[in-house]
Structure 1
């Protein structure tokens, strides 16, 4: 449940940021943006509709597959979700400093030509990107769960928290700023991606698709059990395993090496782009 709330919260805040930037530009440039508001909200609705269509497609594919096919599909979606999380963090590391300017420039170009349909497409793509990522992340996280009511409540709670967070961030502050928000959530997202990666690899090992290497390198369940309490939180958000297989440990370590290198490269690219 915590994963669902966190994903909805984080992605909703980012989507609100994008829409907020575009809305503020239209309000501040009424001469160019006059008549653009309906297309802004139309783009938001279209982006949400595309995300919903993706969710229905994933559910349809899962229902169409047999039991074994669903196992592979769920494992694959967990791995795809992990890759998308890393891609999103790297993209924000590279473009976060210039995101506002890039969005405003794109909107300005469309508004100057009175190309309001182009404006709608711009907003639709921006919202659909966040929504689609959320759909994939959530599917990779909750695949196979039957507790739909709790998942729905967690999602609603995450969205309400996102509205409150966005409001506070817009007020500005020393301790809670957009810079702090992205730095903290970047770390949490990378931990979550590691957990999704482990979940996918665990499924593949359990199905015999991947060799375990050594089934159980150690057993730390006596100190920290992954089925409840702090151990479960670490398992859900960081991929902790009390009795990991060798293959799982090697993949997890490789993930952090590759991710660290990608972030260092993205950070250098971001500095160059800003300059």
Structure 2
């Protein structure tokens, strides 16, 4: 529930910030008359996410076990790809997001097209909506605890809407650079776990060699699939089911946070390590580059001008704060 809550909170806050920027800018321009078009696009994006979730949930029941595993593994890979893209997209475009969105609104108002603002609202929310749907569906499949996982996601989305509204009204101050930094690190770990489970599904479906296929090495002493270094690369890397039962609370917590399962194949472990090492390393380098430079202390001389309370305060680089609908200074 905690993992899906954080996912819903981050993805929902991204969408809330984007919508808040658009609403505030239209209000500043005095064009609140076109807000229904924007909200229509947002509503269509939400409907799309719900439809995709319903199709994935109920459509899989009519498939065979192998087809279900193949579908689950493929969609989990797609979710990992989308999450990875969104992590770096937010990291790269955070500084210019507000200016880019306002430029799109200006062009839409200049052309006067009815569908232009609908499309802006739709695209702004559909990215996070589809990504969240795929990620949550993959996590529900791996956890097997649909009610708790969905409840956590719903609470996260509600909290994101409240935070987005408070930020837009100027009622809350939040260092978005720090927020998206920490949640970005969390999403890297979550995506690595989803990738590991995708490998598990594809191995069960026979699409990848592993412990469920004829490629699995057999322990001559027990006749079971080998475990440990002797099982590399298509056997079990480790088997801790005796110490950590798969259905226990500890197993659920570890899987939700770091993608750990009591029994994992070598392909799963290698995929997890490579993803965290490569993607996490690139993400960390981007975070270090985006850190604000230390500002030198002002010289204490007669020519220095003290900063008055009304002077503007420098904002560290990061995702822009949403201006108040009443305008910005």
Larger radius of gyration: 2
Deviation at 1:232, TM superposition (A): 3.1
Alignment: residue pair count: 268
The equivalent of 2:214 in structure 1 is none
Partner residue in 2 for 1:63: 61
1:90 aligns with 2:88: yes
Shift of 1:228: 3.8
Asked if 1:7 is matched to 2:7, the reply is yes
List per-residue Cα deviations over 1:234-270 (Å, max 9, x = no partner). Answer: 3212112444332222111221233146537867998
Q: 2:2, 2:152 within 8 Å by CA — same for their partners in 1?
A: yes
In the TM superposition, residue 8 of structure 1 has moved relative to its aligned partner by: 1.9
Q: CA deviation at 1:147?
A: 5.1
- Distance in 1, matches of 2:145 and 2:287, equals 40
Aligned residue number for residue 165 of structure 1: 163
Answer yes or no: is 1:238 the counterpart of 2:258: yes
What's the Cα RMSD here? 3.0
In structure 1, list runs of 5 or more residues that go unmatched: none
Task: Identify unmatched segments of 5+ residues in structure 2.
Answer: 212-232, 292-316, 318-329
Paired residues for 1:26-45 under 5 Å = 26-30=26-30, 33-45=31-43
Q: 1:51 aligns with which of 36, 49, 52?
A: 49
- Are 1:17 and 2:17 matched, yes or no? yes
For residues 24 and 180 of structure 1, the distance between their equivalents in structure 2, rounded to whole angstroms, comes to 23
Distance in 1 (alpha carbons) for counterparts of 2:201 and 2:236 = 15
CA distance in 1, matches of 2:290, 2:262: 38
| Alignment check: 8 A CA contact 2:181 2:287 kept | no
State the shift of 1:177 in Å. 1.4
Structure 2-normalised TM-score?
0.71
Higher helix share: 1
- Which of residues 250, 257, 260 in structure 1 aligns to 2:270? 250
Looking at structure 2, the residues matched to 206 and 193 of structure 1 have their Cα atoms a distance apart, in angstroms, of: 20
Q: Distance in 1 between matches of 2:144 and 2:196?
A: 21
TM-score normalised per structure 1 = 0.83
Q: Is the 8 A contact 1:75 1:200 kept in 2?
A: yes
> How far did residue 195 of structure 1 move?
0.9
- Choose from 102, 107, 116 the match for 1:118: 116
